[in-house]
Amino acid sequence: MSYTPSKGPRTLYDKVFDAHVVHKDESGSYLLYIDRHLVHEVTSPQAFEGLKDAGRKVRRRDCTLATVDHNIPTWSRKNFKSPETFIKESDSLLQVQTLQQNVKDFDVPFFGMTDARQGIVHIIGPEQGFTLPGTTVVCGDSHTSTHGAFGSLAFGIGTSEVEHVLATQTIIQAKSKNMRIFVEGKLSPGVTSKDLILHIIGVIGTAGGTGCVIEFAGEAVEELSMEARMSICNMAIEAGARAGMIKPDQITFDYVEGRPLAPKGQEWEKAVAYWNTLHTDEGAQFDYDIKIKSKDIIPTITWGTSPQDALPITASVPDPANVSDPIKKSMMEGALKYMGLKPNKPLKEISIDKVFIGSCTNARIEDLRAAAAVVKGYKKADSVKLAMVVPGSGLVKQQAEKEGLDRVFEEAGFEWREAGCSMCLGMNPDILDPEERCASTSNRNFEGRQGARSRTHLMSPAMAAAAGIKGHFVDIREFQYKDNDVPKVTIEQETEDKALQDAVYEHEKQPLPEGETVQEQEDDEVKDIPATNHKIHESPIKNGKSSSAPAGMEPFLTVNGVAAPVDKANVDTDAIIPKQFLKTIKRTGLKKGLFYEWRFTKDENGNEVSLNYILDTEPYAKSKILVVTGDNFGCGSSREHAPWALKDFGIKSIIAPSFGDIFYNNSFKNGLLPIRLPQEVILEKLYPIAQSAGSLVIDLPNQQILDSNNNVLVKHFDVEDFRKHCLVNGLDDIGITMQKEEFISKYEAKRKIEFSFLEGGSGGVKPIVGSKKSPYGNTAQEW
């Protein structure tokens, strides 16, 4: 079906979406072209395996950029020799090695551990100019929303979708709703973009943006630097949104111009002319329009186990006695118990054990400058066991060292580390011990996020740094900076850009150590890769079936089985499958990890003990259906390991009032059926059956739910036609999309002319191959 965008006024999201429609299906689902695909080691192994099994290639290597970030230790790389000697955990090493092998096999541009350009995937994209305004950006990672700060449509995807994008450079999408969050007035002194986004999530809740793309607008947003805008869009996912966007402007163009992978010369001019059209038109309609007043915002931190548990620093720990809604009250009691907090304690009196300054939310140079300004001239409080600063990329690290920030931190007793995700998630050695309390600049405070039973409080870099100095939370507006010469939140863009450029080129010019050879890609080989020189490989697939279909994509018709009750809201994917189970390169074997922290604990000798969670008792151990009472099941991370674990357990369908967007998508890709029903219907008709270990029958062809005696309980549930069609027939999306080759090629031909400035992308990135002097001053083996 050909697609004609609406002629009337459009939002920023509408415009970027419309510009990427390759095809619109009869059923109303869209095939969107993807301009930029970032890849990391955690969510890609199974995707590359799928490609290999089906004999498929990466369609656009120039639109793809890979790095390692989650698993790598952040200790000094001065003596780095190889990942094998550097990474002690064998499962982490395996993911890193697997990506290294895959980028080699599929010829994908890659920043490895000896490359100064390596870093957290959401930091390196913008830093290199790979992320550009008006583009579609995806990554197998929920915080891909970060890139929306450039006015791009950027969202996280699951591993099946990673495979889909690698093979077809497109993605199947439904159109989201338009939400605007308009921030009136200017932010007050001492209030950062992190405070702003925590405040917003506190107001709209973690399910507030479900089904929407949020445009952040208003004076306060327009005045922010790109780095601060990225922190806001980064956390749009924490508000439940598909993506966050900010219209590109001169601040955006100044940030992008001159970056290594950004368009140059005439292409730059053409790009800016187009980017200037990317704004919401006068009169465009938003489905939801929310106003936030800047003057209401002061430095903000979280107290509980969800990012929506945000409060001004002047507040006290909330008291469940003041809450009347029974679900909210019990969630609050649970969160306070987990966090080890007593109601009504002033937040400023809560003492901490550790500080983490880093993550894709706040590990850019501006964040490090803000933190350094606070600690300069002070010492870390003795009661704080560890304060660590983890730059977001090797280039941020180099820049910070040029400015002497590393020395400022070290003199204050803070540890200065190498780039990576670090303690944001703790898939690497940086984790909190049980019950340790951390002042963290990351984006998620879920249970167990930074380590089993760890306690995370989210805040801005300046607030985290000040907590490290004082040993307890601090209102940064009351903090006495010792050295007023240190920039607090300003950024000298020019200096920074120049330094980043220098770092790349210096690094590329590194002399070889004596006797070392380089098997680097020949220069003309690089030049020879025209942006669109991608071979289109014939699909080995007939009628949409693929050998690489995720295991168990058998047709879904009717499911009849035990239903288990889950009386919770905001069940995040970290709870469904904790981080330690993400280090697999397979899709199966995750049954044990499902709801691990709810099902198991350790005794005093460190042995695993069952908590006899309902799913480990009969007959629930054979459950096929979960009946969830609260909203937002599967929020948070994009890990497809969540549906894989549910499936491994034997679950075929989950019924809940609402779902996290990425989880919802991922479920369908794996033959799991998520069903949205109003909470009152669940509570009245289905939950009592689940509580009494009864069975339910889910009839997908007729879109009904029945009891075990075939009485209809729910006459109709919604499911999009296309998804139903795939599920009922056990179809593989990639096969279906490959049959649309004609449309994809047509779009690419048009794109080559209209958006010529997007051609090239990462195509010219030279990997460091073979033995080469690393930017860290020693010889390193990259492959």
Ligand X SMILES: CC(C)[C@H](C(=O)O)[C@@H](O)C(=O)O
Return the number of the residue (398 or 637) whose C-beta is nearest ligand X. 637
Q: Determine if 417 is a binding residue for ligand X (CB under 6 A).
A: no
Alpha-carbon gap, residue 576 to 584, rounded angstroms = 16
Query: Residue 183 binds which entry of ligand SF4, ligand X, none, with Cβ cut-offs from 5 to 8 Å by kind?
Result: none
Residue with Cβ nearer ligand X (263 or 461): 461
Q: Is 142 in the site for ligand X (CB under 6 A)?
A: yes
| Residue 673, strand partner residues | 653
Tell me which of ligand X, ligand SF4, none is bound by residue 359, counting a contact when its beta carbon lies within the kind-specific cut-off of 5 to 8 angstroms.
Answer: ligand SF4
Contact between 71 and ligand X (CB under 6 A)? no
Which residue, 74 or 168, has its beta carbon nearer to ligand SF4? 74
Contact (Cβ atoms closer than 8 angstroms) between residue 101 and residue 782? no
Residue number, 574 or 759, with CB nearest to ligand X: 574
CB of 423 to ligand SF4, least distance (A): 9
User: CA distances (Å), 350 to each of 316, 344, 371, 455, in order?
Assistant: 10, 11, 20, 12
Answer yes or no whether residue 393 interacts with ligand X by CB under 6 A: no
Q: How far is CA 45 from the centre of its chain?
A: 17
C-alpha radius of gyration, the chain, whole number? 25
- Cα first-last separation, the chain: 45
Q: How far is the CB of 325 from ligand SF4 (least distance, A)?
A: 30
- Which residues of the chain form contacts with ligand SF4 (CB under 6 A)? 69-70, 120, 141, 143, 359-360, 421, 424-425, 442-443
Toward ligand X, which CB reaches closer, 193 or 638? 638
Query: What's the closest the beta carbon of residue 12 comes to ligand SF4, in angstroms?
Result: 24
Give the binding range for ligand X (CB under 6 A) out of 3-11, 135-143, 484-492, 698-706. Answer: 135-143
| Contact pick of 60, 70, 507, 647 for ligand X (by CB under 6 A) | 70
Instruction: Pick one of ligand SF4, ligand X, none as the site partner of residue 156 (Cβ within 5 to 8 A by kind).
Output: ligand X
Residues contacting ligand X: total by CB under 6 A: 12
Query: Cis before residue 9, ω within 30 degrees of 0?
Result: no
159 touches ligand X by CB under 6 A: no
Cβ 283 to ligand X, closest distance in Å?
36
Question: Residue from 50, 83, 156, 394 that binds ligand X (CB under 6 A)?
Answer: 156
Instruction: Please report whether residue 669 would count as binding ligand X according to CB under 6 A.
Output: no
* Smallest separation, CB 69 to ligand SF4 (Å): 6
Binding of ligand X by 141 (CB under 6 A): yes
* 3-class DSSP state of 417: coil
417 CB-side CA count, 13 A:
27
Find which of ligand SF4, ligand X, none residue 548 binds, CB within 5 to 8 Å per kind. none
The two most distant CA atoms of the chain are separated, in Å, by 80
Window 576-635: residues binding ligand X (CB under 6 A): 582
In whole angstroms, how close is the CB of 450 to ligand X at the nearest point?
Answer: 11
Of ligand X, ligand SF4, none, which one does residue 582 interact with (CB within 5 to 8 Å by kind)? Answer: ligand X
| Angstrom distances, CA of residue 782 to CA of 49, 113, 134, 513, 666 | 21, 7, 34, 15, 33
Q: Which does 77 bind (CB under 5 to 8 A by kind): ligand X, ligand SF4, none?
A: none
CB of 362 to ligand X, least distance (A): 13
Q: Are 227 and 368 in contact (CB under 8 A)?
A: no
DSSP bridge pairs for 711 = none
- Contact partner, 252, from ligand SF4, ligand X, none, Cβ < 5-8 Å per class: none
Which residue type sits at 665?
A: N
Nearest CB to ligand SF4, comparing residues 20 and 143: 143
Candidate ranges 278-286, 322-330, 486-494, 637-645; the one touching ligand X (CB under 6 A): 637-645
Question: By the 8 A CB rule, do 124 and 117 touch?
Answer: yes
Task: Give least dist CB 55 to ligand SF4, A.
Answer: 31
| CA distance readout (Å), 102 to 54, 138, 336, 628 | 15, 19, 44, 39
* Binder among 31, 317, 386, 425 for ligand X (CB under 6 A): 425
Of 109-117, 137-145, 725-733, 763-771, the segment contacting ligand X by CB under 6 A is 137-145
Nearest residue (CB) to ligand X, 145 versus 399: 145
CB of 45 to ligand X, least distance (A): 12
CA distance 82 to 770: 11
Compare residues 172 and 360 and give the one whose CB is closer to ligand SF4: 360
Return the one option of ligand X, ligand SF4, none that residue 120 interacts with (CB less than 5 to 8 A, by type): ligand SF4
Nearer to ligand X, 576 or 731 (CB): 576
Structure tokens at 315: 């507040």
Residue type at 768? I
Least separation in angstroms between CB 138 and ligand X = 12
Residue for token pair 């869009």: 233
Pick the binder of ligand X from 225, 638, 774, 781 (CB under 6 A): 638
CA atoms within 13 A on the CB side of 20: 28
199 binding ligand X? (CB under 6 A): no
> What does 334-382 look like in DSSP terms, one character per residue?
HHHHHHT--TT-BGGG-B-SEEEE-TTTS-SHHHHHHHHHHHTT----T
CB of 145 to ligand X, least distance (A): 10
- Residue 576 Cβ vs ligand SF4, minimum distance, rounded to whole Å: 16
Give me the torsion for CA of 426, 432, 435, 436, rounded to 10°.
Answer: -140
| Whether 313 contacts 297, CB under 8 Å | no
What gap in Å lies between CA 71 and CA 455, rounded to an integer? 21
Residue 664, number of CB atoms within 10 A of its CB: 21
Query: Residues 111, 117: contact at Cβ < 8 Å?
Result: yes
Distance (Å, whole) CA 688 – CA 90 = 45
The separation between CA 536 and the C-alpha centre of its own chain, rounded to angstroms, equals: 30
Q: Is there binding between residue 364 and ligand X (CB under 6 A)? A: no
Q: Decide: is 145 part of the binding site for ligand X (CB under 6 A).
A: no
Closer by beta carbon to ligand SF4, 68 or else 500: 68
Query: Rounded CA gap, 198 and 352, in Å?
Result: 20
SS3 content of the chain, % helix, strand, coil (to 5): 35, 15, 45
Distance CA 70, CA 92 (A): 9
Instruction: Please choose which of ligand X, ligand SF4, none residue 507 contacts, taking the beta carbon within 5 to 8 angstroms, the exact cut-off set by kind.
Output: none
**By CB under 6 A, residue 231 contacts ligand X:** no
Burial of 199 from C-beta contacts in 10 A (0-12 / 13-18 / 19+): buried
Chain residues that interact with ligand X, rule: CB under 6 A = 42-43, 70, 141-143, 156, 425, 582, 637-639
